[in-house]
Amino acid sequence: MRKRIPFKNGEYYHIYNRGVEKREIFLCDFDYFRFFRSLKEFNQTDPVVSLYIKDRALGVRPLRMLQKDEKIVEIISYCLNPNHFHLILKQLKDGGISEFVKRLSGGYTGYFNYKYKRTGVLFQGKFKSIHIDSNEYLLYLSAYVNGNYIIHKIDDKKWRFSSLNSNDGFSNLKLISDQFKNADDYKRYVYSVAKQVREKREEMKKYLLE
């Protein structure tokens, strides 16, 4: 088994995972928004109790804006698809990525299992990670992540659950888009990368056993 390389502060990583047995992990819009809320609330140095318990105790309140030094990761971009998710994260605190994804996966699994009256694991093992070791690779993977719904043929040109189309207030896609002439220029790059990857996937199907 390949040993995971320790995450380093200041470095960028592509993080992804999918539902166990490729099952869908988002069954309605509220599920996506619940995951969004987890992305916001679990990204802080102080431990976060169950969002369910927090809501019962305090009532649902507007999320306060965290200061940069309170966050454990910086969320650059993301895409949530019906049976998997992709994130690009920059680690800000020691152990930040591992802790953040542990909170995210555990919290969402608890919510999902309670809501849909199921038990057991929801995600397919430990999350996967790729170290992004150059700016060129960062730009490419940001396009791959933001356009992942296109790659998987989700028929929605303005898919709300990609940071490409969402004004979420917690991701820093500007870090990427500022390297292009304008937002439309970056979107064209995303669409181009997504189209190339989708075509390559279709081509590879010829060589796979049915």
Contact between residue 96 and residue 72 where contact means Cβ atoms under 8 Å apart:
yes
pLDDT in tens, 81-103: 999 999 999 999 999 999 999 99
Q: Number of C-alpha atoms within 13 angstroms, CB side, residue 21? A: 4
CATH for 64: 3.30.70.1290
* Confidence class for position 120, pLDDT limits 50, 70, 90: very high
Determine, yes or no, domain membership for 210.
no
The token pair that represents 195 in the structure block: 């189209």
Determine, yes or no, domain membership for 126.
yes
Determine, yes or no, domain membership for 166.
yes
Determine, yes or no, domain membership for 4.
no
Provide the residue range defining the domain that includes 132: 12-204
Determine, yes or no, domain membership for 6.
no
Determine, yes or no, domain membership for 34.
yes
b/e code 89-128 from CB counts within 10 Å (16+ = b):
bbbbbeebbbbbbebbbebbbebbeeeeeeeeebbbeebe
Determine, yes or no, domain membership for 7.
no
Contact between residue 75 and residue 87 where contact means Cβ atoms under 8 Å apart:
yes
Number of domains in the chain: 1
pLDDT in tens, 175-210: 999 999 999 999 999 999 999 999 988 887 766 554
pTM attached to this predicted model: 0.87
Strands of 73-81's sheet, edge to edge?
73-81, 84-91, 12-18, 128-132
